[in-house]
């Protein structure tokens, strides 16, 4: 807590400050001597208006007021009522001195804001007991004010920290977007489009592509376990391992520049996760190499949803056999699977955020729903991912996406000329 914070702490008086309000000088003198004998700092006022002014202006504030009931112009109950209406920051304990024995009268004094009464002629033992009762209540109030101040200060600090984290997360989201290659790309006459919609400010999904050769392109879809900062940091690390711009830094390439097979890349990633990163986080992935001359697809599926192929005639095929996630178990084997695309076929790789997308009743879209959705889409990849995202939002209704949504669609067409790169 800073020095500036100390200045706004509620003031806690080491010594009780009391005000005696009485139009009788002899009564004021008597009460001052009694209160000072109790180690109380005493101020006096000869009428209610003067007493009210002192209550509103004294610093440190007056904590206890001992007021006569009957006074000219403004009596004791009026003083109580007015003080209660005006005072907001601190509480003043009000004791009325009266010779009244009528219960109705005393009730009116309580309704006016008095906390207690002392009967005249004043009994010293009774006065001491009632002041001690007020002292205990005031001490409790001061402790409560301190606790409230501590809670408020802690809340302000937490709010400031939360705002700072949100600012950092907003910047992290920009950086995470920078990991992704361009959202649309043409390669040897074929076209692809990718989409990433995070459920929070930052996410754990990653989609992208990079060239393997003049006629072969790699496509990948990754879903890191969990949510939040740790998952987002791992996606950043993985994006670096699948860099588009440098073969030297890309884990898919050997030192001589040749490409490892997709299953070998998964094995290498598994070693990195278990040996270098040593994290409890794991991820699922699909890595596919597409030869644009032949339409052959060579891919590895590591615990990720099955890639789907929307054939030119509207059929939708499900590819792959599953496989273990990456970074979960040592010495696991990953399978390599092949498939073939014909001109006009579209390959969709995606995270389980699509199939797990739930409507207002909790019903998930599931793989079958996604296949039906894909069967009805026969447009260019960018428009296709737009329509899939729109359909997912219609499916969720008023709900927000509970998981990151990521997908990559590659539509295969034969190149116009062998070796041509768009």
Q: Is residue 254 part of a domain?
A: yes
Q: Is the pLDDT of residue 254 over 70?
A: yes
- Specify if 95 maps to a domain: yes
pLDDT tens-digit readout, 360-415: 788 899 999 999 999 999 889 999 999 999 999 998 886 778 778 899 999 999 76
Asked whether residue 418 is assigned to any structural domain, the reply reads: no
Tell whether 393 is covered by a domain.
yes
Residue 255 forms part of a structural domain:
yes
Query: Among the listed ranges 2-16, 73-87, 321-335, which one has the minimum average pLDDT value?
Result: 2-16
192 shares a domain with 145: no
**pLDDT at residue 176 tops 70:** no
Task: Mark whether 123 and 189 lie in a shared domain.
Answer: no
Q: Give the residue from 166, 234, 223 showing the smallest Cα distance to 200.
A: 166
CB atoms within 10 A of CB 19: 24
**Residue 122 pLDDT more than 60?**
yes
Q: Are residues 198 and 93 in the same domain?
A: no
Among 111, 129, 150, the domain boundary falls at: 150
CA torsion, ordered 21, 24, 30, 35, to nearest 10 deg:
0
| Eight-class DSSP state of 211 | E
- Burial 254-285, CB ≥16 within 10 A → b, else e: eeeeebbbbbbbbbebbebbbeeeeeebbbbb
Tell me what pLDDT residue 13 has. 54
Domain of residue 102: give its range.
Answer: 3-150
Q: Does 161 map to a domain?
A: no
Rounded (to 5) percent helix, strand, coil in the chain: 40, 25, 40
229 and 332 housed in the same domain: yes
| Six token digits for residue 257 | 């520049």
67 and 205 housed in the same domain: no
Laid out side by side, the sheet with 190-197 consists of 184-187, 190-197, 405-411, 346-350, 308-310, 316-318
- Residues 190 and 143 both lie in one domain: no
CATH number for 65: 3.40.50.2300
Coil, helix or strand for 231?
helix
Task: Please tell me whether residues 215 and 82 are part of one structural domain.
Answer: no
Query: How far are the Cα atoms of 101, 287, 379 from residue 340, in angstroms, in the given order?
Result: 103, 15, 20
More confident residue, 235 or 166: 235
Phi and psi at residue 283, to the nearest 5°: -150, 160
Name which of 305, 347, 378, 42 is nearest 193 in CA terms: 347
Q: Does 7 score more than 50 pLDDT?
A: no
| Count of domains observed in the chain | 2
Helix ranges (DSSP H) in 59-102: 76-86
What is the pLDDT, as a whole number, of residue 174? Answer: 65
Query: What single DSSP character describes residue 253?
Result: B
C-alpha pair distances (Å), 212 with each of 133, 187, 290: 85, 11, 9
Say if CB 45 and CB 68 are below 8 A apart. no
Give the list of residues 6+ apart from residue 52 with CB closer than 8 angstroms, or none.
74, 79, 82, 83, 86
Would 163 be classed as within a structural domain?
Answer: no
Residue 280's domain is classified under what CATH number? Answer: 3.60.40.10
The pairing of beta strand 296-302 with beta strand 205-211? unpaired
Peptide bond into 172 cis (omega under 30): no
Sequential DSSP letters for 17-60? EEEEE-S-HHHHHHHHHHHHHTT-EEEEESSHHHHHHHHHH-SS
pLDDT score for 93:
93
Domain shared by 189 and 125, yes or no: no
In a domain, 370, yes or no: yes
Do residue 255 and residue 120 come from a single domain? Answer: no
Same domain flag for 211 and 116: no
Q: In this predicted model, which residue has the larger pLDDT, 249 or 253? A: 253
Question: Mean per-residue pLDDT for 265-279?
Answer: 89
What separation in angstroms does the CA of 363 have from each of 69, 354, 397? 72, 12, 12
Q: What is the mean pLDDT of residues 115-140?
A: 89
**pLDDT, mean over the chain:** 87
Model pLDDT, residue 378:
85
What confidence category does residue 262 fall into, taking pLDDT thresholds of 50, 70 and 90? very high
Other CB atoms closer than 10 Å to residue 385's CB: what's the count?
Answer: 24
Structure tokens at 231: 């998952």
Q: In the predicted model, is pLDDT for residue 214 greater than 50?
A: yes
Averaged pLDDT, 80-108: 85
Helix (H) or strand (E) holding 184: strand 184-187
- Looking at residue 3, what is its pLDDT? 40
Q: How many CB atoms lie within 10 A of CB 66?
A: 30
For residues 184 and 144, membership in a common domain is answered with no
Question: Domain check: are 84 and 192 in the same one?
Answer: no
pLDDT class of 204 with cuts at 50, 70, 90: confident
Which domain-ending residue is among 150, 169, 191? 150
């Amino acid at each position: 807590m800073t020095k500036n914070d100390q200045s706004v702490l509620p003031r806690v008086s080491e010594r009780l400050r009391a005000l005696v309000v009485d139009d009788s000088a002899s009564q004021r003198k008597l009460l001052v001597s009694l209160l000072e004998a109790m180690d109380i700092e005493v101020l006096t006022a000869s009428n209610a208006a003067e007493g009210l002014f002192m209550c509103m202006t004294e610093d440190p504030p007056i904590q206890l007021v001992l007021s006569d009931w009957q006074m000219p112009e403004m009596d004791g109950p009026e003083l109580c009522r007015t003080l209660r209406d005006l005072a907001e920051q601190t509480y003043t304990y009000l004791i009325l001195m009266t010779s009244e024995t009528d219960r109705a009268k005393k009730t009116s004094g309580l309704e006016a804001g008095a906390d207690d009464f002392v009967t005249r002629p004043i009994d010293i033992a009774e006065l001491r007991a009632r002041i001690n009762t007020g002292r205990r209540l005031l001490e409790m109030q001061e402790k409560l004010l301190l606790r409230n101040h501590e809670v408020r200060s802690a809340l302000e600090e937490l709010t400031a920290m939360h705002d700072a984290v949100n600012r950092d997360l907003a910047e992290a989201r920009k950086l995470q977007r920078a990991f992704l290659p361009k959202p649309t790309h043409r390669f040897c006459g074929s076209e692809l489009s990718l989409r990433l919609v995070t459920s929070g400010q930052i996410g754990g999904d990653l989609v992208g592509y990079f060239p393997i050769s003049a006629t072969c392109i790699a496509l990948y879809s990754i879903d890191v376990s969990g949510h939040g900062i740790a998952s987002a940091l791992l996606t950043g690390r993985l994006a670096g391992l699948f860099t588009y711009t440098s073969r030297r830094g890309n884990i898919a390439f050997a030192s001589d520049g040749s490409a490892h097979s997709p299953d070998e890349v998964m094995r290498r990633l598994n070693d990195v996760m278990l040996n270098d990163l040593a994290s409890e986080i794991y991820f699922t992935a699909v890595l596919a190499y597409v030869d644009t001359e032949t339409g052959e697809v060579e891919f590895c599926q590591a615990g990720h949803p099955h890639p789907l192929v929307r054939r030119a005639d509207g059929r939708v095929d499900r590819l792959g056999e599953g496989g273990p996630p990456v970074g979960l178990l040592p010495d696991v084997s990953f399978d390599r699977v092949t498939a073939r695309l014909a001109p006009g076929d579209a390959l969709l790789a995606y995270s389980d955020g699509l199939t797990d997308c739930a409507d207002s009743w909790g019903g998930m879209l599931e793989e079958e729903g996604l296949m039906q959705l894909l069967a009805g889409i026969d447009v260019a990849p960018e428009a296709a991912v737009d329509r899939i995202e729109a359909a997912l939002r219609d499916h969720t209704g008023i709900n927000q996406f509970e998981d990151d949504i990521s997908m990559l669609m590659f539509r295969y067409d034969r190149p116009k000329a062998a070796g041509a790169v768009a």
